[in-house]
């Protein structure tokens, strides 16, 4: 069922969730009120929310707590999902220390690096392992997600390792296009490109 949702709709679900969580009043909220608050079209909001199990009631809308629960359920916030980070540089360390992942049920369990000064240390309570031991550790840890914070020059090799250990979902911060087999999903976050895009927008 989830495969029916367009990626653009899926991408908006955390936006609704964050907005609903930011409200303090309980009770009902209409799709129109959500749309106005977020500067979006009401029809679009209603269509997006229809992918979840939330039931809107005519004229009153959604019970806020139920809608939050439906969004959290859809986004898997209550399923525990383990993730690993490759590259314990500044960005990798920032992610290891970030506590916002648990809102989505994601637990960063470890990082891997090739710098012997980093191997054996802990960041945000998580261990940094030698990248040479990645294959063995990934079998033990069995994470579902990998986050690549490595230099562009080694990102493809790291992706190949990760995929060979049966991780099918990769969040890639390296500014390089990863070639992956069918069935593997890559999402890219190129921060510099995002800033350039922003700068080019009028």
Residues within the interface to its own copies (CB under 8 A): 2-3, 7, 10-11, 13-15, 18-19, 22, 37-38, 74-77, 81, 83, 89-91, 93-95, 97-98, 100-101, 103-106, 144-145, 147, 169-171, 175-177, 185, 187, 189-202
- Residue length, the chain? 202
89 half-sphere exposure, CB direction, 13 A CA radius? 9
Cβ(111)–Cβ(123) below 8 Å = yes
- Distance of closest approach, residue 100 Cβ to its own copies, in angstroms: 4
Give whichever of 3 and 57 is closer to its own copies, judged by the CB atom.
3
Tokens of 168: 């099918």
Give whichever of 7 and 117 is closer to its own copies, judged by the CB atom.
7
Give whichever of 10 and 154 is closer to its own copies, judged by the CB atom.
10
- Distance of closest approach, residue 82 Cβ to its own copies, in angstroms: 10
Q: Which one, of 118, 129, 123, 166, lies nearest residue 144 by Cα?
A: 166
Give whichever of 60 and 197 is closer to its own copies, judged by the CB atom.
197
- Distance of closest approach, residue 58 Cβ to its own copies, in angstroms: 27
Give whichever of 68 and 170 is closer to its own copies, judged by the CB atom.
170
- Distance of closest approach, residue 91 Cβ to its own copies, in angstroms: 4
- Distance of closest approach, residue 92 Cβ to its own copies, in angstroms: 8
Give whichever of 131 and 149 is closer to its own copies, judged by the CB atom.
149
Handedness of CA 18, 24, 28, 34 (dihedral sign): negative
Q: Which one, of 182, 191, 137, lies nearest residue 162 by Cα?
A: 137
Pairing of strands 185-188, 169-172: parallel
Strand partners, 193: none
Instruction: Map residue 172 onto helix, strand or coil.
Output: strand
- Distance of closest approach, residue 197 Cβ to its own copies, in angstroms: 5
Q: What span, in angstroms and rounded, lies between the C-alpha atoms of 85 and 148? A: 6
């Amino acid at each position: 069922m989830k495969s029916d949702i367009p990626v653009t709709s899926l991408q908006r679900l955390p936006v609704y969730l964050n907005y609903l969580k930011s409200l303090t009043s309980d009770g009902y909220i209409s799709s129109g009120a959500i749309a106005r608050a977020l500067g979006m079209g009401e029809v679009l909001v209603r269509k997006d929310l229809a992918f979840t199990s939330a039931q809107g009631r005519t004229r009153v809308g959604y019970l806020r707590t139920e809608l939050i629960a439906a969004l959290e359920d859809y986004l898997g916030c209550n399923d525990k999902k383990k993730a690993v980070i490759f590259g314990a540089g500044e960005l990798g360390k920032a992610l290891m220390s970030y506590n916002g992942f648990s809102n989505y049920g994601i637990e960063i369990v470890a990082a891997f690096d090739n710098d012997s000064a980093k191997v054996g240390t802990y960041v945000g309570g998580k261990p940094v392992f030698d990248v040479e031991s990645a294959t063995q550790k990934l079998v033990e840890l069995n994470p579902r997600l990998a986050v690549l914070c490595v230099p562009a020059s080694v990102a493809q090799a790291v992706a190949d390792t990760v995929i060979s250990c049966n991780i099918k979902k990769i969040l890639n911060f390296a500014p390089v296009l990863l070639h992956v087999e069918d069935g593997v999903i890559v999402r890219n976050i190129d921060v510099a490109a995002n800033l350039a895009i922003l700068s080019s927008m009028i």
